[in-house]
């Protein structure tokens, strides 16, 4: 129960941070990608702030024997670039550029009640489901 409560709290804090930084506004993301026009560096500052916290914090956390609310650290084991990763990154980038959303901000933006955001989230979930089917097929 503590892990569920902490996940809810951390997710709420993350969503609040996305809203305060206006990363749930697709125009911010589109503006960031418009390097030849009216470039908006806001996303760069948000990513920089995240890295400023993560880079020194991650090694400190990994010094622990195990996480506070789990039995073990669930870290990625793949270290090679493969076709699935590259194709997935291309699809993600195209979707991000067209819609101006990635998964975190899209979920946070659901609070706006926008039908366009809800449609994006439904399409995102369908895409994740389809990808899982392709991943499990022999």
Dihedrals φ, ψ of 77, to 5°? Answer: -110, -20
Rounded to whole angstroms, the Cα distance separating 120 from 115 reads: 9
Q: Is the pLDDT of residue 137 over 80?
A: no
Rounded to whole angstroms, the Cα distance separating 85 from 93 reads: 12
DSSP state of 136: H
Q: Supply the mean pLDDT for the chain.
A: 89
Q: Is the pLDDT of residue 95 over 90?
A: no
Tokens of 48: 């920089």
Count the alpha carbons within 13 Å of 59 in the hemisphere toward its beta carbon: 4
pLDDT at 53 (0 to 100): 92
| pLDDT one-digit tens code per residue, 113-132 | 999 999 999 999 998 898 88
Rounded to whole angstroms, the Cα distance separating 22 from 33 reads: 15
| pLDDT band for position 54 (cuts 50, 70, 90) | very high
The phi-psi region of residue 22 (left if phi > 0; otherwise alpha if psi is between -120 and 50; otherwise beta) is left
Rounded to whole angstroms, the Cα distance separating 72 from 2 reads: 16
Decide: 58 and 73 in contact? Cβ < 8 Å.
Answer: no
Q: Is the pLDDT of residue 55 over 80?
A: yes
30 to 19, 37, 38, 95, 127: CA distances (angstroms)? 16, 11, 10, 11, 21
Decide: 14 and 104 in contact? Cβ < 8 Å.
Answer: yes
């Amino acid at each position: 129960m503590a892990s569920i409560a902490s996940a809810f709290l951390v997710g709420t804090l993350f969503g609040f941070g996305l809203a305060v930084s206006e990363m749930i506004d697709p125009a911010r993301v589109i503006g960031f990608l418009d390097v030849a026009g009216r470039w908006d560096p806001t996303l760069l500052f948000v990513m920089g702030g995240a890295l400023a916290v993560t880079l020194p914090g991650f090694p400190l956390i990994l010094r622990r024997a195990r996480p506070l609310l789990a039995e073990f650290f669930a870290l990625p084991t793949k270290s090679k670039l493969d076709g699935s990763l590259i194709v997935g990154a291309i699809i993600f980038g195209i979707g991000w550029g067209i819609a101006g959303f990635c998964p975190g901000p899209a979920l946070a933006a659901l609070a706006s009640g926008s039908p366009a955001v809800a449609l994006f989230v439904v399409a995102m979930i369908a895409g994740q489901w389809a990808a899982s089917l392709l991943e499990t097929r022999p």
